[in-house]
Structure 1
């Protein structure tokens, strides 16, 4: 590895002890072809100086990062999957490879997807399709540009294996992905300890999360009787903001199970995601979500329900009333966050009054009634002026917006930038270029457009 003085490796996870994870080894892949390296994200953790050879050695062959973990760790957790409790899950095709501090001083995790089998793989092969990796690149890049707190796709390396998948033409190409995230601890991590009735381990985990992800003073073994409620307060605040971010982005995660919600409220683990074309509350991303449990309009409810399961787990340490008090804050926090998120997309300065809530209500109703393209509307109306072409359905929105000031000058680049959306047809076309012609140029061009949009919006 190159001498990179910017990297600040950590190994904080080892504080928890081996009851929380299993040491594992990455699969020995027949090939390692670098397909995507996110130098913008790597710069935030001091790894952008790696050559491609070093990149592949660490993020394809998983040579240890000096100063961090000596061996990868598959974390143990449980979870509700579509509201059915499953005690037989964990890191089944991924692991925690390393921890580092970023340029803001935050503890960051490098977690993998498709890195091979672990004790939690059950009957899975521990692999990831190249198409799945490409889709995660697109999801994370788009959400980051749209101001949603998300993991970043740091690396994608094609691994030269042919995988059999029932829902894709077989055989299909394989890959290993590394994501950069602020926290690998999930609600399901706490659920596992509640299931095992392990109060001592639960207290240690609460302290770990408060200390390393929320910067609370280390009280040692005496973390305070209110520690579980303090933790839940943080998670409720962050996840309410996440739910609002999804809605304002027109994004449907698809699988909001408790093992897919982490302790920092950062979106991650992208499977059957979709961006809704119109503001359709019933729109679903997963073909297997027959009841619409995780439909677009039900995502705030689903995330609140997940927080409730965290509260249930924390009852191992705490009485119910302080936990219920924190859960009861979710609705108000979400309403505040959706106002902020939608006004941000409209490019206007909030008025900090009841007018903001009235505008958001009118906007949601107009988007539903007008069956309008979400991406096109926010692009065309950025700065608070709704074009006449949007018709009578937006009359109230247009009138309310007249009282708002744009947060950027009218000559800002956003007004001349092309609209950027992510319809499923484009996702499939980007994959077809790779699959049929090994042509990665359209994907990289799309990433450039997405980043340009993010810079214009920021």
Structure 2
């Protein structure tokens, strides 16, 4: 296999032992049609030199990459809508590989996982078929790509391959097409991975897992310092929750098996982006109580962190763990201010001024209701004063004539623009921003399902890459 010099296998999780995962075999699919290949993500781990045939061999048939032990179905438990389930685990996916991110000579890059979705049954499949719908795979590619562009810590969809099976599903028209997805992310160690060890009261496994997570993902924490490790996970999780809110994103299923130790968003099922400010907006049709509604996501993340803290009581005292948990609120507010500054393209002016901008932005979105969509506000006023002429002559000019807008504008114009040259990008010559609302997602799928037309999907990804390049442009 022609891997590049940047390819560096480092399968650390498999070395933890058989209590943490089970060797499994991938499904034998009747077809393997490559539908999406993330070239930029592949280059970051030395996989860009693969031919399409080699790509399909490794990410459709799952022939092991060099230096990798083969697929491992990870063991974990979890709270699902706050009901504990000891029968979880990788039921339609596995850890396919671990490798180092490319980095300057002499430095060690981040450890990254290749994890699958729809790759077949495992010992943890229960009654499931271990498969993924093509629509579900397409939706995950779109969600991850949009979130990355908006600055949310997220997994990246590395590969999507259609697999030629007709799947029966109760929540969408069936039979429907099948696929296998490979995602690239920092870690697949979940809060639920710790919960499984605690469920069986295996303190030694908690210690092994905690040291693995500390040394691999949070090396700034001293060895043996479980409260310090929890504090690092709390900080990363607070940042994630804040970035979701600033992006107007609703994950949909914030169970303890869907949050990981590095504070990355992953496993996109019934996700949605807000059309407009609506605190009770839910993504999952089965979330009848609104447990994981838009504005309740920080609460959900904190509740899950308390479950993680409970597992660490097997190896640490309760008081310092509680102190670490108490850091969530202040960290969340700090990251929320930072996230809104990033969305508006301005620099920090200090805590008081930044909080004023956060408060007035939310007040304007709240007052604007359905007429003022979430994403256009950030698009119209990106970098502040430099967007005035564009915003006040654009399609939402009439919405910017209220007392709430006056307060927002005052708070915004206090702040200096951050990299104002970004306004010169073609993105800002358009009247409307790049959004990811459900009607567009359904239209993209309809073209695929009806006519096998992948051009709207490819066009959307191309535009999202332009969005990422514009917003994430380095100083």
TM-score (norm 1): 0.97
Residues 348-370 of structure 1: per-residue CA shift (max 9 Å, x gap): 11102301101101111110111
Q: Which residue of 2 aligns with 1:294?
A: 292
Give 1:216 deviation, angstroms: 4.6
Measured after TM superposition, the shift of residue 314 of structure 1 is 0.6
What residue number does 2:408 align with? 397
Q: Report the equivalent of 2:84.
A: 85
Q: Deviations over 1:2-26 (max 9, x none)?
A: 2432210111112210111111000
1:265 CA drift (Å): 0.3
1:31-430 superposed matches below 5 A: 31-69=31-69, 71-104=70-103, 105-216=109-220, 223-224=223-224, 227-371=225-369, 372-385=372-385, 387-388=391-392, 389=397, 390-392=400-402, 393-409=404-420, 411-413=423-425, 414-417=427-430, 418-430=432-444
Matched with 1:449 is: 463
Report the Cα offset of residue 391 of structure 1.
2.4
1:250 CA drift (Å): 0.3
- Write out per-residue CA displacement over residues 154-208 of structure 1, whole angstroms, 9 at most, x where no aligned residue: 0000000000001111100000000001001000000111100000111000000
The answer as to whether partners of 1:45 and 1:100 remain within 8 angstroms in 2 is yes
Contact 1:111/1:178 (8 A) holds in 2:
yes
Q: After alignment, is 296-305 or 412-421 more displaced?
A: 412-421
CA-based RMSD of the aligned residues comes to 1.2
Runs of 4+ residues deviating >3 angstroms: 385-388
**Aligned pair count?**
451
Q: Deviations over 1:242-274 (max 9, x none)?
A: 000000000000000000000000000000000
Alpha-carbon deviation of 1:230?
A: 1.4
Cα distance in 2 for partners of 1:182, 1:190 equals 17
Cα distance in 2 for residues equivalent to 1:3 and 1:153: 20
Question: In the aligned structure 2, how far is the partner of 1:375 from the partner of 1:170?
Answer: 33
SS where residue 201 of structure 1 aligns?
helix
Counterparts of 1:382 and 1:365 in 2: how far apart (Å)? 17
Is the 1:75–1:96 Cα contact (8 Å) retained in structure 2? yes
Q: Is the 8 A contact 1:80 1:258 kept in 2?
A: yes
Normalised TM-score (structure 2): 0.93
Looking at structure 1, the residues matched to 141 and 382 of structure 2 have their Cα atoms a distance apart, in angstroms, of: 26
Contact 1:9/1:67 (8 A) holds in 2: yes
Gaps of 5+ in 2: 104-108
Per-residue displacement from partner, 1:399-454 (whole Å, max 9, x unpaired)?
11121111123553153255100110000000000000000011010011111111
Moved more, 398-407 or 156-165: 398-407
2:4 alignment partner in structure 1: 4
Listed as ranges, the matches of 1:21-32 within 5 Å are 21-32=21-32
- Per the alignment, in what secondary structure is the counterpart of residue 98 of structure 2? strand
Contact 2:3/2:47 (<8 A) preserved: no
Say whether the 8 Å CA contact 1:2–1:54 is kept in structure 2.
Answer: no
The answer on whether the counterparts of 2:434 and 2:467 sit within 8 Å (CA) in structure 1 is yes
